[in-house]
A = this chain, B = another copy of it.
Amino acid sequence: MPPSDRIRDHAGQGATTVAAHRARRRLRADQARQLADLLRHQVLAGGFPDGALPHETVLAADYRASRNTVRQALDLLRAEGLVDRLPGVGTVVVARKYPHGLDRLMGLAETLREHGTVTNEVRTMGPAPAPAPVAERLRVPAGTDVLYIERLRRLNGLPLSLDLTYIPLDIGTALLGADLENTDVFRLLESITGQRLGHAEITLEAVNADAHSAAVLEAPRGAAVLMLERLTHLADGRPVDLEFIRFRGDRITMSGLLHRSL
């Protein structure tokens, strides 16, 4: 017997106790989350091509859920900024998340090419002494100057990520005159060194944006941020690019394929 029937029978027997109330509320919250996850997938996969979600009663029938559960699920997606309710129209998709590949090492403009134009606002750029952990990872002596770049990256004008980048100065110097506004650092690194990039070690985390990062990204304070730390190596194995990237959680997804055996 599915748990919803269990609860219903329980209540049907007149045992409308505080515990039963609580159980029902918890159950509805669970079901709302469950439904929200399915709808989120549909929204992100472009499952509502005209941008409008079906009416609540249709959703309720399609997903065998109560109207209350549907409403609560839509509220969850609204809180995430994915959909909005328009009077007289219903629930519409308002945010778009862009897929960033997890299978291949690519620059942002490369990976999002089909979705629009990436532009970069260079907030800071210049040589700075490498702190010990940066120096170690870039394999330069601690305190050596490295090129530090801070960029706010936009897709079709909307803030997408805030990138902090460290590059060894022998390569970095050539970047100083480059068109960083319109070109991925990856492409510039390959053209400067005459070498392809090889691999990158990446770490992904979800963090709440601090007030300042949120302001730069034009996101609410505390907004969930997908944080990517990435150390990129040239094809010959030399580490050349250490980046700390804060993606707006509501604008990006990372997708890839995992295999059971390597």
Residues of B within 8 Å of A37, CB to CB, are: 164, 229, 244
Knowing A229-B41, A261-B196, A262-B104, the reply to whether A133 touches B206 (Cβ < 8 A) is no
The answer to whether A97 and B260 have CB atoms under 8 Å apart is no
The answer to whether B222 and A206 have CB atoms under 8 Å apart is no
A42, A197, A260 pick with most chain B CB within 10 angstroms: A260
The answer to whether B197 and A132 have CB atoms under 8 Å apart is no
The answer to whether A33 and B164 have CB atoms under 8 Å apart is yes
The answer to whether A260 and B225 have CB atoms under 8 Å apart is no
The answer to whether A257 and B204 have CB atoms under 8 Å apart is no
Which residues of A1-26 are within 8 A (CB) of B? Answer: 1-3, 26
Query: How many copies of this chain does the complex contain?
Result: 2
The answer to whether B226 and A208 have CB atoms under 8 Å apart is no
Residues of B within 8 Å of A3, CB to CB, are: 124, 126
Q: Report Cα–Cα, A207/B259, bound state, in Å.
A: 25
A103 contacts the other chain (CB 8 A): yes
A183 to chain B, nearest CB (A): 17
Cross-interface CB contact of A206 among B47, B64, B247, B258, cutoff 8 Å: B247
The answer to whether B126 and A257 have CB atoms under 8 Å apart is no
The answer to whether B213 and A33 have CB atoms under 8 Å apart is yes
A175 contacts the other chain (CB 8 A): no
Knowing A196-B260, A203-B254, A255-B202, the reply to whether A223 touches B235 (Cβ < 8 A) is no
A77 to chain B, nearest CB (A): 10
A interface residue count range (under 10 / 10 to 19 / 20 to 34 / 35 or more): 35 or more
The answer to whether A150 and B30 have CB atoms under 8 Å apart is yes
Residues of B within 8 Å of A104, CB to CB, are: 258-262
The answer to whether A256 and B224 have CB atoms under 8 Å apart is no
Cross-interface CB contact of A253 among B205, B253, B254, cutoff 8 Å: B205
The answer to whether A103 and B229 have CB atoms under 8 Å apart is no
A102 contacts the other chain (CB 8 A): yes
Q: Which 5 A-B pairs have the closest CB atoms?
A: A206-B249, A206-B206, A29-B212, A206-B226, A206-B224
Binding site for B on A (CB under 8 A): 1-3, 26, 29-30, 32-38, 41-42, 44, 47, 62-64, 76, 79-80, 97, 99, 102-105, 123-124, 126-129, 131-134, 148, 150, 164, 196-208, 210, 212-213, 222-227, 229-230, 235, 244, 247, 249-250, 252-262
Supply 7 A–B pairs (Cβ within 8 Å), ascending by A: A37-B244, A38-B131, A80-B208, A104-B258, A199-B259, A199-B260, A207-B250
